[in-house]
């Protein structure tokens, strides 16, 4: 038995990712769930998780809508939506609680708010917490560096039909991995989809990023490197959301005790 398990709070506990995080947390002796949040007005708020989520009795956690000043959580995990995630980042900064953010589609003021929180607490805001995907980021960067920018590069991602942002945060991060591997300031631009009605032939200075939305696809990403005579494909396919939850919980254990700042999953995994 672990003497001092990491105490965590899960935001959006009734959601798909929240349910994965909850199930894996309860199985991990190195973790202890001490708080769980859902949006105001949600039917779970005010009820014990043992009643609404079907988890083991005696857990003693009542679903709340706010993180309070008397919180005992050591790490806050958020897979909600951009406005909520950025708000939670500010609250965590005020309470000095490290935060793990897996919410994608964060831009503008929300992104700035998370960056400001990192001035006061350790933050990991990753487009994808899968260990395999983060290894893919590194492999794509190495491939781009080794192959050179004479290769055409295309990125294709597929997700379920309820995903709101497109292209995915993971696809955009893969695009950055390609650029990092190519010569600095090579002048590449992203092209999101193509149509012969408004474009000519493919230029050498573009990287296609294409989004597919269908049924219940968890997440698939492929980066193509092609030149006359050969093609390299680097692909990651997720068949369960558990892979993202496991990575987030691994990050939660790692981040405790770190200095304020913005950290990456590559650092968690020792890839940089």
Active-site residues: which are they? 159, 163
Q: Say how far apart CA 10 and CA 22 lie, in whole Å.
A: 8
E strand or H helix at 5: none
DSSP per-residue string spanning 14-33: TSHHHHHHHHHHHH-TTEEE
Q: Are residues 172 and 127 in contact, defined by beta-carbon separation less than 8 angstroms?
A: yes
Strand partners, 211: 157
Q: Are residues 77 and 11 in contact, defined by beta-carbon separation less than 8 angstroms?
A: yes
Q: Are residues 6 and 74 in contact, defined by beta-carbon separation less than 8 angstroms?
A: yes
Q: Give φ, ψ of 113 to 5 degrees.
A: -65, -40
Place of tokens 């950025």: 86
- Taking CA atoms, 99 is separated from 45, 46, 58, 223, in Å, by 22, 23, 26, 30
């Amino acid at each position: 038995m672990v003497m001092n398990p990491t105490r965590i709070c899960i935001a959006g506990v009734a959601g798909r990712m929240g349910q994965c995080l909850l199930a894996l947390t309860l199985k991990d002796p190195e973790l202890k769930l001490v708080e769980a949040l859902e949006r105001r007005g949600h039917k779970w708020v005010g009820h014990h998780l043992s009643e609404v989520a079907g988890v083991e009795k005696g857990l003693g956690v009542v679903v709340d809508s706010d993180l309070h000043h008397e919180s005992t959580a050591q790490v806050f995990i958020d897979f909600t939506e951009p406005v909520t995630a950025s708000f939670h980042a500010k609250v965590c900064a005020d309470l000095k609680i490290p935060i793990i953010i897996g919410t994608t589609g964060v831009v503008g003021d929300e992104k700035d708010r998370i960056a400001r929180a990192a001035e006061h607490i350790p933050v990991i805001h990753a487009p994808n917490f899968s260990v395999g995907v983060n290894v893919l980021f590194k492999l794509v960067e190495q491939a781009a560096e080794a192959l050179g920018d004479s290769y055409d590069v295309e990125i294709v991602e597929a997700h379920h039909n309820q995903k709101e942002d497109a292209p995915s945060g993971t696809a955009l991060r893969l695009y950055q991995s390609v650029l990092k591997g190519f010569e600095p300031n090579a002048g590449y631009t992203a092209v999101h989809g193509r149509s012969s009605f408004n474009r000519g032939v493919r230029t050498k200075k573009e990287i296609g990023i294409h989004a597919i939305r269908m049924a219940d696809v968890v997440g698939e990403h492929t980066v193509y490197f092609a030149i006359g005579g050969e093609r390299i494909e680097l692909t990651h396919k997720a068949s369960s959301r558990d892979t993202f939850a496991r990575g987030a919980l691994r990050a939660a254990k790692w981040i405790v005790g770190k200095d304020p700042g913005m950290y990456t999953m590559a650092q968690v995994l020792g890839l940089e």
